[in-house]
Amino acid sequence: MTGNTKSVCPIEMGVVQTDFGTVSLNHVLLGIATSLQRMDVSQEQLMDGRRRNMRIKFSGDKIINNFWASTIAGDMAELLVMQLPVSNSPKFGPGGKWNDSVLPVFFYQNTNYDGVLRDYWDDTDAEILGGIDGNLVAQYPSCPSSSYHSDRRVRLNVIFDATWDPYVTLQVLIYLRIRK
């Protein structure tokens, strides 16, 4: 047999199960990493090179931050670039199922996904949820960028716990205020 073969049970790697659904931790880490080096760019600056031939007037100069662009907007752009040339209706997904409800190890993607070729499954449900969570974590007051002084560092596992557990989030915020 030559060439690439596709599994009838594709496994999505790098995802975890939370109470809110399956989440891609890569996207959460990306949100945290970009929040460590925040960068805000105005809409005017972002479109400056393109406006030479076009007369675009923006209503108010909006600010775009790097963690929004790298998480949510990046996934939406990837979806459009990969699927729009081959499909008139780009879709996020697919979802899937865990191999075990007690001790989940493997996340199997659904193979019967409406009309989207498997070659273009770049934006799975877990990646979208991870992008949203990554964007939210980057904006937390407890995120390392806002508490990066040596006496108030927060460990990565605490940030992950605080992301999906409201009680832990409250504890982290109280800890950071006490340590100021």
Cα distance between residue 113 and residue 123, in whole Å: 13
* Number of helices followed by number of strands (H, E) in the chain: 7, 7
Are 11 and 116 in contact by the 8 Å Cβ rule? The answer is: no
Angle at 21 between CA 139 and CA 108, to 5 degrees: 125
Domain boundaries in the chain? 11-139, 141-180
Mean per-residue pLDDT over the chain, rounded: 73
- E-strand ranges in 66-143 read 96-98, 107-109
pLDDT of residue 119: 60
Does residue 1 carry a pLDDT above 60? Answer: no
Q: What is the mean pLDDT of residues 130-138?
A: 85
pLDDT 10s digits, 36-63:
888 888 877 766 655 555 555 666 678 8
